[in-house]
Amino acid sequence: MKKTLYTEWAYVLGLIGLALGTAGMEASNFGVSMVVAPAYLLHLKVSKYLPFFSFGMAEYMLQGALLLLTIACVRKFRFHYLFSFVTAVLYGLLLDVSIGLVAYLPTQVIAVRVICYAAGFLFCTAGVSLMFHTYISGEVYELFVMEVSKKFNKDIHKFKTAYDMVSCVVGIALSFLFFGFGHFEGIKWGTIICTLLNGFLVSRFTLFFERYFVFKDGTSLRKYFS
């Protein structure tokens, strides 16, 4: 018999999974995902001059800029757009806490780095799958893809692929700009693996969750996110 998992808890667990996963992949130094690469490069550069500028801060600041771009593209504003930024801030705070926790691991040992990457990748994909099962607004990255593709009548999957490619190019450009031409920082072989397997693993986790859980709302707040 399937157990009940409230969609609000799916949101919370999804955020925690994404934060822990990103922190694990960052600690491995094998490469972060393409989506977070621009924020990660911005953090690496700015934190040299402003030590308090964390990865999490770079994430929600960049997503704030992306939210403004989303509004400019679709030429409208809705309440759940604002909550996407709230989600980005919560994610950024959880990410900084997760990075602080992962910092206690002996990542100078190659085996530990491999475990961090593998576990981080799994946490990220599980987190994405859980976020698909909640009505609460996800991060601005997903909002941008969904709203802009709908506005211009583009296939969302193709648009998402194009967005990921642009994020990768931006990440590479920032790496070259900040650290010298030909120097790849943040985007490494782990990024390629993430790109190739991300969709597959998200679908596997979705099948797993839907096999053992029934997702239903625990509150009547869904109407505010429609």
pLDDT for residue 30: 92
Number of domains in the chain: 1
Whether residue 224 lies inside any domain: the answer is no
What is the sign, positive or negative, of the torsion defined by CA atoms of 150, 153, 158, 161?
A: negative
Per the CB < 8 A criterion, the answer to whether 112 and 29 are in contact is: no
- HSE-up of residue 105 (Cα within 13 Å, Cβ side): 21
Whether residue 130 lies inside any domain: the answer is yes
pLDDT for residue 53: 94
Whether residue 12 lies inside any domain: the answer is yes
Whether residue 88 lies inside any domain: the answer is yes
Per the CB < 8 A criterion, the answer to whether 43 and 58 are in contact is: yes
Locus of tokens 């475990």: 115
Coil, helix or strand at residue 214: strand
Confidence band (pLDDT; 50, 70, 90) for 154?
Answer: confident
Coil, helix or strand at residue 5: strand
Whether residue 18 lies inside any domain: the answer is yes
Q: How far apart are CA 118 and CA 120, in angstroms?
A: 5
Per the CB < 8 A criterion, the answer to whether 178 and 46 are in contact is: no
Residue 161 pLDDT > 80:
no
Residue 36 pLDDT > 80:
yes
Owning domain of residue 97: 3-217
Whether residue 197 lies inside any domain: the answer is yes
214 - beta bridge partners?
4
pLDDT for residue 76: 83
Coil, helix or strand at residue 215: strand
Residue 91 pLDDT > 90:
yes
Other C-beta atoms lying within 10 Å of the C-beta of residue 128: 22
Residue 157 pLDDT > 80:
no
- From 19, 6, 8, select the one nearest 126 (Cα to Cα): 19
Residue 156 pLDDT > 80:
no
Cα angle value 196/199/200 (rounded, 5°): 85
pLDDT for residue 4: 92
Torsion of CA 197, 30, 141, 216, to 10 degrees: 60
Percent of the chain's residues with pLDDT above 90 = 49
Q: How far apart are CA 208 and CA 44, in angstroms?
A: 36
pLDDT for residue 191: 86
Whether residue 91 lies inside any domain: the answer is yes
Whether residue 225 lies inside any domain: the answer is no
Q: How far apart are CA 98 and CA 209, in angstroms?
A: 24
